[in-house]
Amino acid sequence: MLLQNKVCIVTGATRGIGLAIARFFAAQGAWVFVNGRDSQRVNDVVAELQSAGGRADAFVCDVADPNSVKLAYKEFLTKSKTIDVLVNNAGILDDALIGMVTPAQIERTFSINTYAVLYMSQYAARIMAKAKSGSIINLTSIIGTNGNSGQAVYGGSKAAVIGITKSLAKELAASHIRVNAIAPGFIDTDMARSIPPAVFDTRVASVAMKRIGTPEEIAGVAAFLGSDLSAYVTGQIIGVDGGMLI
């Protein structure tokens, strides 16, 4: 198995891409710490993974709140002294034309999509550095690499994740911690289904493979980046988008 006995934290793991990653990681032998804000939903996912024969624990916190993150890591350290893989997946999508963007929307989007990556990585990097090993996987987006109308806030928050990824890759390489990002295209999640049907169809038409991607297809690449198969890969932004043009 790709991730046998690897200790992995997956943020935003109660649905969508994060849930698919948590399931696949557990199936690949990982000990998965499931993150979410809602303890009931987190515990449901933990129970699901365990009933499928996997090893899982809860990592309940609001990743956008540094104090909440700190407390969650303290709790985590009572269960495990090491982290092999951190997947910074938690994110929100809240589109608006620039003239209608509110300060609260900017703050909330950047808090969850961007600041949280720094808060979570800060502690993970310290723990990984002690073992001189680890892999941090950040979820950016094709909107972060290419931009899109009506998505200045989301695109900005995801472009920042690319800067964080490349900078951390350089800073942490000496500690043998790899840092990479996945840039999904149009993926079949609640987030994608929240857009109007006409926009949905236009998005699918823009994909060279003419279909929406699945969360499992992101999970596969995340498993590669978390595993030793990618031992010499760092600072990379891997598009998983079916040849989407935007």
**Out of 50, 68, 105, 122, the residue judged to bind another protein by CB under 8 A:** 122
Tell me: does residue 66 bind another protein (CB under 8 A). Answer: yes
**Out of 25, 31, 73, 115, the residue judged to bind another protein by CB under 8 A:** 73
Note whether 157 and 145 are within 8 A (CB).
Answer: no
Tell me: does residue 134 bind another protein (CB under 8 A). Answer: no
Stretch binding another protein (CB under 8 A), from 33-41, 48-56, 70-78, 230-238: 70-78
Tell me: does residue 126 bind another protein (CB under 8 A). Answer: yes
Stretch binding another protein (CB under 8 A), from 5-13, 50-58, 97-105, 123-131: 123-131
Rounded Cα gap, residues 1 and 210, in angstroms: 32
Rounded Cα gap, residues 92 and 191, in angstroms: 8
Positions marked catalytic: 154
The smaller minimum CB distance to another protein, of residues 171 and 201, is found at: 171
- Closest CB 123 distance from another protein, rounded Å: 8
Note whether 87 and 139 are within 8 A (CB).
Answer: yes
Tell me: does residue 173 bind another protein (CB under 8 A). Answer: no
End-to-end C-alpha distance for the chain, whole angstroms: 36
The smaller minimum CB distance to another protein, of residues 25 and 73, is found at: 73
Tell me: does residue 70 bind another protein (CB under 8 A). Answer: yes
How many residues of this chain interact with another protein, rule: CB under 8 A?
10
**Out of 92, 129, 195, 237, the residue judged to bind another protein by CB under 8 A:** 129
- Closest CB 75 distance from another protein, rounded Å: 11
Helix (H, G, I), strand (E, B) or coil at 95: coil
Tell me: does residue 176 bind another protein (CB under 8 A). Answer: no
198-216 burial, b for 16+ CB within 10 Å, e for fewer? eeeeebbebbeeeebbebe
Rounded Cα gap, residues 222 and 233, in angstroms: 12
Tell me: does residue 130 bind another protein (CB under 8 A). Answer: yes
Which parts of 76-115 interact with another protein (CB under 8 A)?
77
Stretch binding another protein (CB under 8 A), from 50-58, 65-73, 107-115, 152-160: 65-73
Rounded Cα gap, residues 179 and 235, in angstroms: 6
Rounded Cα gap, residues 234 and 181, in angstroms: 9
Q: How far is CA 83 from CA 72, 86, 114, 129, in A?
A: 14, 7, 21, 10
Q: What angle do CA 185, 13, 141 make, to 5 degrees?
A: 20
List residues binding another protein (CB under 8 A): 66, 70, 73-74, 77, 122-123, 126, 129-130
